[in-house]
Amino acid sequence: MKALDKDWLTSHLIDFEYKKYILLAYLKDIRQQFDRVALYPYLSDMVFHYKNLLAIKENKEVLFQSFPETVSKADFETLSLHYKKIVESDDIIDELEAIIEYAAPQFKTMLSEGKDIFEYIEENIEILPVGITPLHFQEGYFFLQQQGKKDTQVYEYQVSIFENANEKYRGIHTSFVESITRGIGRTFESLKLELIRKYKKLPNPATYLINSQVVCPVNATLLPVSKRMLMKYLATVH
């Protein structure tokens, strides 16, 4: 689908009907993605646009900064004066405010639908340790399994911790290892032993099964939701 430009509100023609057309075409594409239970990057893209709309609504300086630069750096001072006149134009401000008042609820409604899908996927995912979990669990493997499917995706994960002056943040990096077709007698415990024999760099890896009762696109939905759930799980049980 075609992404919505980050400066869609202030670029090109500032006209309510024109912007409405652009917005509804974008949201129609988003709905088509949601209908196939595909959440990313569409959900995070909408969060960006919605927050941007709210910021512009509250702060005219943000509105001023959001107008695209179309001239050279040497003309920046003249450009600033020009944009200031545009932003201070009552007609344009009224048009932009009308667009924002229409667009914000549209984004909010679609975001609510995306959140409902996300929570539904979460509610239908379980995370289980495979074998004995070592004390060092910041890196390891997880099996991504969807109900009724024989193929299992294997990922390596690594937890990172970022700190600033006030807070500590956790992040998780994943990399695809391989896809395995499970058969009779090929348990997840035996798959873990196969990984240990095949990939020597993790001799005693923490390993988890992430099982989804809902069948959905892996990269667009299941993997990003699973990563967030694994982060929460590791923070809770260890």
Mean pLDDT confidence for 21-35: 96
Q: pTM of whole model > 0.85?
A: no
pLDDT tens digits for range 137-169: 999 999 999 998 989 999 999 998 766 656 666
CB 16 within 8 A of CB 97: no
Q: What type of residue sits at position 128?
A: L
pLDDT at 81: 47
How far, CA to CA in Å, does 59 sit from each of 54, 56, 77, 203?
9, 5, 21, 55
pLDDT at 73: 47
Residues 185-205 as b/e (b if ≥16 CB within 10 A, e otherwise) read eeebeebbeebbeeeeebeeb
Q: What type of residue sits at position 199?
A: Y
Q: What is the mean pLDDT of the chain?
A: 86
Planar angle of CA 76, 3, 72, nearest 5 degrees: 15
What confidence tier does 194 reach under pLDDT thresholds 50, 70, 90? very high
pLDDT at 89: 59
Query: Packing angle between helix 90-123 and helix 76-87, nearest 10 degrees?
Result: 90
Which of 105, 96, 107 is closest to 62 using CA atoms? 96
d(CA 12, CA 18): 10
**How is residue 199 annotated by DSSP?**
-
